DNA sequence: CGCAAATTTGAACATCGTCAACTCTAGTGG
DNA sequence: CCACTAGAGTTGACGATGTTCAAATTTGCG
C-alpha cells in the first residue's frame, strides 16, 4: 500500500542540509510564525492542524516521511493559522525558501518531482473531502479508517497495520466529530473483530470486512 | 479578487487543439468513463462531483476558466466516481494524456506552470476542508460564501459579485448540509441585507459585514 | 401563459454533541 | 516493584441542532 513517488532529486537536495530532531508532541512550526524555510520529513509523522476561534482543533492532514511542508507558502500562499506538530519522534531537513525555489527552477526533473508530490497531496485532500461529506458518524469513522489504511497502512493478507499511533481525539479532529462519538463507532468495529488497538496503534484485522461495512451501511438505508 | 497565475505556456499548448462546446447542465466527463484526454476550460464553469451510494450529490470543487481536469488522472490516479458537468455554457480544449505528459516533460517552464496550478488547487482544497470542519449551519454557509467570493468574486467597493450562477442545492451539496437548512441560513443573511440573489447569481452586498458575521458568531459562543 | 425547477415554511423526528462521572493504561519516581 | 499521576477512553442522560417529509409558493424560461 501507500504510494511510491520518485522523488530522488528532491530528497538529495534536502539531504545536504542539517538535521533537526523533534520529540513526540513538539511543535515544528507554530500558527502565525513565519516559516524558517521548507521542511522535509526524513523520519516520523507530522500533523498539520489549525485551532478554530472556538478552541476546537481541526486536523487537515498527516504528513509522512518524504513529504515537504508548507508547500503553498513556498509559492506565495499564506500558512495562515496552520500549526505543524510531531506526533512521533521526527527528523527534519530544512532549506530556505529562496534556495528551494532556485532548485525547482534550475532542474526540470526537480519541478517534475515537485509536481508529482503536489498531485499526490491533491489526491489525499480529495479523499479528506469525500470523507467529510459523509453524513453520519459510522460511515465517517469507517471511511476514515479505510483512507488511513491506504495512506499509512502495511498490508499482510487481509490485515493492515497503521504505521503511526493515533488517539481517538486525533481521528475525531480529522472527521469533525466529537471524541465520544468517534470512540463509540470504533467500539462497534472492535466488537465485530474488524479492528484492534494496542498502545494507540490501530490494526485493521480484515480490510475487506471493513470495506463491506460501508457498502452494507448504505444498502440498508 | 481571484488569483492570476502565469500559465501562458499551458494555455498556448491547449489552444492549438479543437474547441468543444457544452451547454449548461451537460456532462463533460461521466463517472466511470475513461477520460478522452485532458480538458482545459477556455470559458465557463464546471462542477466536479460524485454521487454517493445513498444517491446524494457530493460537490468537490468548481473549476473556472484556465483550469485543467482531471489532474490526478494525468498522473496515474483514479478519476473514480467523479463526474464533471457544465454549470454554465462551457468551451473546452482537449489534448490526449500522452501529448500532455510529453509537453510537461519537454518544457521546464510548462512543468513549473503546472506546479503552480496544482498548488493553487491545494489551496482551494484546504479552504474546502476548513469549511467542512465548521460545526454549525450558519458558520458553514457564511464561510462558504466568503470562500466563493475569494475564488469567483468581482469586487467593487464592499460589494462582491459572484461570476457564476449557483442554486441553493449547489451550495448545500458542497457543504454537506441539506438544501432546506442552507436556504434558511441564506435567508438570515438576506434579511440582514448582507447578500442578495438574482437569477441564481449571488452578490455579497458588504463583504466586511459578512466577515464580521463569522467572527461575531464565534465570539458569542 | 404554463410548466418545471427552485425555494420557502412548518412540524415531527433522529442524530450527534455536551457534560459529568468513571475506568483504564502507560509512564514516572520513590 | 509498587503507588501515583496524567492522559486517554468509556458510558449514560439529555438537549441542541439539523434532516426529513410534505405542502405551498415563487421564479425562470420556452
B122: confidence class by pLDDT, cuts 50, 70, 90: very high
Helix (H) or strand (E) holding B167: none
Q: Which residue from B minimizes the CA distance to A49?
A: B130
Is 60 exceeded by the pLDDT of residue B120?
Answer: yes
Per-residue pLDDT band at B1 (split at 50, 70, 90): low
Residue B55 near residue B4, CB atoms below 8 Å: no
Give me the residues of chain A with pLDDT under 50, please.
Answer: none
Within 8 A of B176 by CB-CB distance, chain A residues are: 132-133, 135
| The predicted structure's pLDDT at residue B218 | 80
Residue with cell 449548461: B24
CA-CA distance, B124 to B129, in Å (whole number)? 9
For the beta carbon of residue A23, count every other beta carbon within 10 angstroms. 10
Q: Which residue has the higher pLDDT, B133 or A1?
A: B133
pLDDT in tens, B30-83: 999 999 999 999 999 999 999 988 888 999 999 999 999 999 999 999 887 899
The whole-angstrom distance between B111's CA and the closest CA on chain A is: 6
pLDDT score of B2 more than 70: no
B48 touching chain A per CB within 8 A: no
Residue A5 has a pLDDT of 78
Q: Is B201 on the interface with A (CB under 8 A)?
A: no
Q: A133 to chain B: which residues are within 8 Å by CB?
A: 52, 58, 132, 176
A169 CA: nearest nucleotide by C1': D8
Contact between residue B85 and residue B49 where contact means Cβ atoms under 8 Å apart: yes
Query: Cell numbers of A147, please?
Result: 483512507
pLDDT band per the 50, 70, 90 thresholds, residue B124: very high
Predicted confidence band of residue B217 (pLDDT cuts 50, 70, 90): confident
Q: Which nucleotides of C are covered by protein (CB under 7 A)?
A: 6-11, 15-20, 25-27
Q: Is the CB of B181 under 7 A from strand D?
A: yes
Instruction: Give, in Å, how far the C1' of C23 lies from the CA of B30.
Output: 52
Residues in B closer than 8 angstroms to A135, CB to CB, are 56, 176
- Measured between CB atoms, which of A54, A116, A218 is closest to B54? A218
- Yes or no, beta carbons of B104 and A126 under 8 Å apart: no
CB spacing of B132 vs A176 below 8 angstroms: yes
Query: B52 in contact with A at a CB cutoff of 8 Å?
Result: yes
B27 pLDDT tier (thresholds 50, 70, 90): very high
Q: Please report the pLDDT score of residue A207 as a whole number.
A: 97
pLDDT at A17: 96
Closest residue to C25 (CA to C1') is A199
| Contact A119/B at CB under 8 A | yes
B57, B51 Cβ separation under 8 angstroms: yes
Q: Which residues of A touch B57 (CB under 8 A)?
A: none
Q: A62 φ, ψ to 5°? A: -110, 120
Contact at CB, A123 and B72, closer than 8 angstroms: yes
Strand D reaches within 7 A of the A168 CB: yes
Provide the grid cell at B1.
479578487
Would you say A43 and A91 are in contact if contact means Cβ atoms under 8 Å apart? yes
- Nearest Cα to Cα of residue A46 among A168, B129, A30: A30
Does A77 contact B at CB distance below 8 Å? yes
Amino acid at each position: 500500500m501507500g504510494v511510491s513517488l520518485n522523488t530522488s532529486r528532491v530528497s538529495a537536495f534536502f539531504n545536504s542540509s542539517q538535521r533537526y530532531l523533534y520529540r513526540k508532541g513538539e511543535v515544528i512550526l507554530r500558527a502565525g510564525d513565519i516559516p524558517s524555510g521548507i521542511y522535509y520529513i526524513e523520519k516520523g509523522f507530522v500533523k498539520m492542524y489549525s485551532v478554530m476561534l472556538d478552541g476546537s482543533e481541526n486536523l487537515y492532514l498527516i504528513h509522512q516521511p518524504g513529504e515537504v511542508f508548507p508547500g503553498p507558502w513556498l509559492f506565495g500562499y499564506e500558512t495562515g493559522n496552520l500549526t505543524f506538530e510531531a506526533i512521533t519522534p521526527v527528523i527534519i531537513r530544512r532549506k530556505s525558501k529562496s534556495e528551494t525555489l532556485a532548485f525547482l527552477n534550475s532542474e526540470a526533473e526537480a519541478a517534475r518531482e515537485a509536481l508529482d508530490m503536489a498531485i499526490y497531496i491533491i489526491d489525499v485532500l480529495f479523499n479528506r473531502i469525500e470523507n467529510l461529506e459523509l453524513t453520519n458518524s459510522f460511515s465517517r469513522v469507517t471511511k476514515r479508517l479505510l483512507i488511513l489504511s491506504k495512506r499509512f497502512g502495511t498490508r499482510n493478507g487481509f490485515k493492515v497495520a497503521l504505521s503511526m499511533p493515533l488517539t481517538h481525539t486525533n481521528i475525531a479532529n480529522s472527521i469533525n466529530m466529537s471524541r465520544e462519538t468517534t470512540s463509540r463507532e470504533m467500539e462497534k468495529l472492535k466488537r465485530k473483530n474488524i479492528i484492534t488497538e494496542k498502545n494507540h496503534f490501530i490494526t485493521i484485522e480484515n480490510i475487506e470486512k471493513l470495506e463491506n461495512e460501508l457498502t452494507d451501511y448504505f444498502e440498508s438505508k
